[in-house]
């Protein structure tokens, strides 16, 4: 049994170390949150509430460089935002399928809670869909049983293989966190950055 625990610990540590390579810190001049490198040429995904204010946005990369960031698009309804920095050959995260998540599966959330860089927390999927605490919400979320704290916002939620399945966004209780499913992130980026002739933006999408 001890060998199994050692293997599990090693596997989890390896996943965290891999995911950290694409984890960034975002400062909006008033506070800080997290973000995930989506594309090697500087495209970063985070929460809309992390970039609120829009002035003096800066991104600190995993290699320690701090660069000014440009806000490309934001969607307050889905609490998503896309940023760009002038950099290339950045390490990206593998993208999973949030539709395949099932209750009871293990997930990890990374971010910078209370300024602790690259901190990880683990828990299980509770459910996916509209949270019972938010009956008026039109959005669906991944509901997870883990500790999310201020600074986890905008960071990646990954599955047991280290693949991105969601973007951490909020807590609804001491042991319950919500993440935006990666399928919604794909839709947001397609609408925000794709060809206007192919995709019609949703009303809630605001272009910068």
Is residue 206 domain-resident? no
Q: Which helix (H) or strand (E) holds 25?
A: strand 23-27
The whole-angstrom separation of Cα 35 and Cα 71 is 13
What's the confidence (pLDDT) of residue 10?
80
pTM of the predicted model over 0.85:
yes
Beta strands in 32-93 (DSSP E): 32-39, 43-46, 58-60, 66-75, 80-85
Is residue 147 domain-resident? yes
What's the confidence (pLDDT) of residue 73?
93
Instruction: Identify the residue whose tokens are 């935006």.
Output: 180
Cβ neighbours for 19, distance < 8 A, ≥ 6 positions apart: 93, 108, 110, 120, 156, 158, 162
Note down the domain range covering 50. Answer: 2-85
Number of structural domains found in the chain: 2
The whole-angstrom separation of Cα 34 and Cα 156 is 8
From 53, 85, 117, give the residue that closes a domain: 85
The angle at the Cα of 153, spanning 157 to 84, to the nearest 5 degrees, equals 90
Catalytic residues: 49, 79, 153
What DSSP state is assigned to residue 80? Answer: E
Give the HSE-up count for residue 177: Cα atoms under 13 Å, Cβ half-sphere: 31
- Check which CATH number belongs to the domain holding 67 and give it: 2.40.10.10
Distance of CA 127 to the CA centre of its chain: 18
67 with 107, same domain: the answer is: no
103 with 73, same domain: the answer is: no
pLDDT (tens, 9 = 90+) of the chain, 208 residues, equals 567 777 777 888 899 999 999 999 999 877 789 999 999 999 999 999 999 876 789 999 999 999 999 999 999 989 999 999 999 999 999 999 999 999 999 999 999 998 889 999 999 999 987 766 665 566 789 999 998 888 899 999 999 999 999 999 988 877 889 999 999 999 999 998 874 333 333 434 444 3
Is residue 124 domain-resident? yes
């Amino acid at each position: 049994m001890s060998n199994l625990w050692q293997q599990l610990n090693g596997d989890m540590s390896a996943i965290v170390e891999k995911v950290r390579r694409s984890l960034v810190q975002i400062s909006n001049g008033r506070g800080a949150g997290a973000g995930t490198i989506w594309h090697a040429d500087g495209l970063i995904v985070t929460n809309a509430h992390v970039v609120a204010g829009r002035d003096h946005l800066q991104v600190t990369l995993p290699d320690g460089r701090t660069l000014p960031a440009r806000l490309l698009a934001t969607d307050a309804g889905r609490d998503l935002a896309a940023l760009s920095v002038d950099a290339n050959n950045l390490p990206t995260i593998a993208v999973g399928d949030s539709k395949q998540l099932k209750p009871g599966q293990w997930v990890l959330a990374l971010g910078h809670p209370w300024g602790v860089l690259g901190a990880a927390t683990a828990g299980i999927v509770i459910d996916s869909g509209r949270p019972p605490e938010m009956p008026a919400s039109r959005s669906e979320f991944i509901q997870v049983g883990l500790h999310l704290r201020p600074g986890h916002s905008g960071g990646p939620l990954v599955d047991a293989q280290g693949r991105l399945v969601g973007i951490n966004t909020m807590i609804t209780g001491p042991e319950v966190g919500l993440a935006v499913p990666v399928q919604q992130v794909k839709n947001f980026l397609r609408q925000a950055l794709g060809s206007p002739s192919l995709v019609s933006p949703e009303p809630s999408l605001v272009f910068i």
